[in-house]
Amino acid sequence: MLLRQMSNFIASSEAQYEDLYKQSTEDPKKFWSDFAEQEFVWHKQWDNLLDYKLSSDANDLGVKWFEGAKLNITENCIDRHLAAKGEQTAIIFEANDPKEEALHITYSELAKNVNKTANMLKANGAKKGDRICLYMPMTPELAYAVLACARIGAVHSVVFAGFSAKSLSDRVMDSKCNLVLTADGGYRGNKITSLKEITDEALMSCDCVEKVIVLNRTNSKIAMEYGRDVWWQEEFAKASDVCPAEIMDAEDMLFILYTSGSTGKPKGMVHTCGGYMVYVNYSFRNVFQYEEGDIYWCTADIGWITGHSYIVYGPLSAGATTLMFEGVPSYPDMGRFWEVVEKHKVNIFYTAPTAIRSLATCDMRLVTKHDLSSLKTLGTVGEPINLEAWEWYDEHIGKKNCPIVDTWWQTETGGIMITSLAGVTKDIPTYATLPLPGIQPCLMDESGNEITSAEGEGRLCIKYPWPSMARTIYGDHQRYADTYFSSFAGKYFTGDGAKRNAEGNYRITGRVDDIVIVSGHNLGTAEIENIINEHELVAESAVVGYPHDVKGNSIYAFVTLKGTSESGAVTREIRELVAKTLGPICKPEKIQITTGLPKTRSGKIMRRILRKIAAGDFENLGDISTLLNPECVEEVIKGRV
Ligand code: 7RM
Give residue 270 CA to ligand 1 midpoint distance, Å.
18
Residue 602 has pLDDT above 60, yes or no: no
DSSP single-letter state for residue 562? S
Q: What is the pLDDT of residue 599?
A: 84
**Pocket of ligand 1 contains residue 315 by CB under 6 Å:** no
Query: What residue's CA is closest to ligand 1, atom 11?
Result: 384
Q: From the CA of 515, give the closest atom in ligand 1.
A: 24
Do residues 597 and 542 make contact, with C-beta atoms less than 8 angstroms apart?
Answer: yes
pTM of this prediction? 0.88
Residue 302 has pLDDT above 80, yes or no: yes
Domain boundaries, the chain: 14-75+277-476+492-511, 527-638
Q: Which helix (H) or strand (E) holds 461?
A: strand 456-462
Phi-psi region at 199: left, alpha or beta (left = phi > 0; alpha = psi -120 to 50): alpha
Residue 161 has pLDDT above 70, yes or no: yes
pLDDT band at 601 (very low <50, low <70, confident <90, very high): low
**Pocket of ligand 1 contains residue 407 by CB under 6 Å:** yes
**Pocket of ligand 1 contains residue 508 by CB under 6 Å:** yes
Give residue 441 CA to ligand 1 midpoint distance, Å.
15
Q: From the CA of 411, give the closest atom in ligand 1.
A: 20
Do residues 405 and 379 make contact, with C-beta atoms less than 8 angstroms apart?
Answer: yes
* Whole-number Cα distances in Å, 4 to 1, 423, 438, 586: 9, 13, 21, 42
CATH 3.30.460.80 for the 527-638 domain, yes or no: no
Residues paired with residue 521 on neighbouring β-strands, in sequence order: 518
524-552 average pLDDT score: 88
402-410 average pLDDT score: 98
- pLDDT tens-digit series, residues 168-179: 999 999 999 999
Query: What residue's CA is closest to ligand 1, atom 2?
Result: 410
CA angle 180, 185, 186 (to 5 degrees): 100
Q: From the CA of 385, give the closest atom in ligand 1.
A: 17
**Pocket of ligand 1 contains residue 470 by CB under 6 Å:** no
**Pocket of ligand 1 contains residue 517 by CB under 6 Å:** yes
374-388 average pLDDT score: 93
pLDDT band at 278 (very low <50, low <70, confident <90, very high): very high
- pLDDT tens-digit series, residues 185-206: 999 999 999 999 999 999 999 9
Q: From the CA of 522, give the closest atom in ligand 1.
A: 21
**Pocket of ligand 1 contains residue 511 by CB under 6 Å:** yes
Identity of the amino acid at 565: S
297-316 average pLDDT score: 97
- pLDDT tens-digit series, residues 91-106: 999 999 999 999 999 9
Give residue 498 CA to ligand 1 midpoint distance, Å.
12
pLDDT band at 2 (very low <50, low <70, confident <90, very high): very low
On average, the pLDDT of the chain sits at 94
Give residue 411 CA to ligand 1 midpoint distance, Å.
8
Residue 597 has pLDDT above 70, yes or no: yes
Among the listed residues 315, 302, 316, the one whose alpha carbon sits nearest the alpha carbon of residue 134: 302
Give residue 517 CA to ligand 1 midpoint distance, Å.
8
**Pocket of ligand 1 contains residue 306 by CB under 6 Å:** yes
Residue 1 has pLDDT above 60, yes or no: no
Q: From the CA of 418, give the closest atom in ligand 1.
A: 18
Give residue 306 CA to ligand 1 midpoint distance, Å.
10
pLDDT band at 340 (very low <50, low <70, confident <90, very high): very high
**Pocket of ligand 1 contains residue 413 by CB under 6 Å:** no
- pLDDT tens-digit series, residues 113-143: 999 999 999 999 999 999 999 999 999 999 9
- pLDDT tens-digit series, residues 407-432: 999 999 999 999 999 999 999 999 99
**Pocket of ligand 1 contains residue 496 by CB under 6 Å:** yes
Give residue 328 CA to ligand 1 midpoint distance, Å.
21
Query: What residue's CA is closest to ligand 1, atom 3?
Result: 410
- pLDDT tens-digit series, residues 324-333: 999 999 999 9
Least confident of 467-481, 556-570, 578-592: 556-570
Query: What residue's CA is closest to ligand 1, atom 16?
Result: 383
Query: What residue's CA is closest to ligand 1, atom 23?
Result: 382
Residue 623 has pLDDT above 90, yes or no: no
CATH number of 14-75+277-476+492-511: 3.40.50.12780
**Pocket of ligand 1 contains residue 75 by CB under 6 Å:** no
Note every long-range contact of 59-65, with CB atoms under 8 Å and residues 24 or more positions apart, other chains counting: 61/477, 61/480, 61/481, 61/485, 62/471, 63/465, 63/469, 63/471, 64/251, 64/471, 65/32, 65/250, 65/251, 65/272, 65/274, 65/275, 65/278, 65/465, 65/467
Query: What residue's CA is closest to ligand 1, atom 1?
Result: 410
Among the listed residues 404, 407, 396, the one whose alpha carbon sits nearest the alpha carbon of residue 367: 396
Least confident of 110-119, 183-192, 584-593: 584-593
Give residue 109 CA to ligand 1 midpoint distance, Å.
34
Give residue 139 CA to ligand 1 midpoint distance, Å.
25
Q: Which helix (H) or strand (E) holds 84?
A: helix 82-85
**Pocket of ligand 1 contains residue 410 by CB under 6 Å:** yes
3-class SS string, 128-151: CCCEEEECCCCCHHHHHHHHHHHH
Q: How far is CA 168 from the centre of its chain?
A: 17
**Pocket of ligand 1 contains residue 381 by CB under 6 Å:** yes
**Pocket of ligand 1 contains residue 382 by CB under 6 Å:** yes
Q: What is the pLDDT of residue 395?
A: 98
Q: What is the pLDDT of residue 264?
A: 64
Give residue 354 CA to ligand 1 midpoint distance, Å.
12
Beta-strand ranges (E) seen in 115-210 are 131-134, 155-158, 179-183, 186-188, 191-193
Give residue 385 CA to ligand 1 midpoint distance, Å.
11
Residue 607 has pLDDT above 80, yes or no: yes
**Pocket of ligand 1 contains residue 409 by CB under 6 Å:** yes
Do residues 598 and 606 make contact, with C-beta atoms less than 8 angstroms apart?
Answer: yes
DSSP state string for 614-627: HTT--TT----TTS
Do residues 222 and 196 make contact, with C-beta atoms less than 8 angstroms apart?
Answer: yes
Residue 564 has pLDDT above 90, yes or no: no
Give residue 257 CA to ligand 1 midpoint distance, Å.
15
Q: What is the pLDDT of residue 555?
A: 94
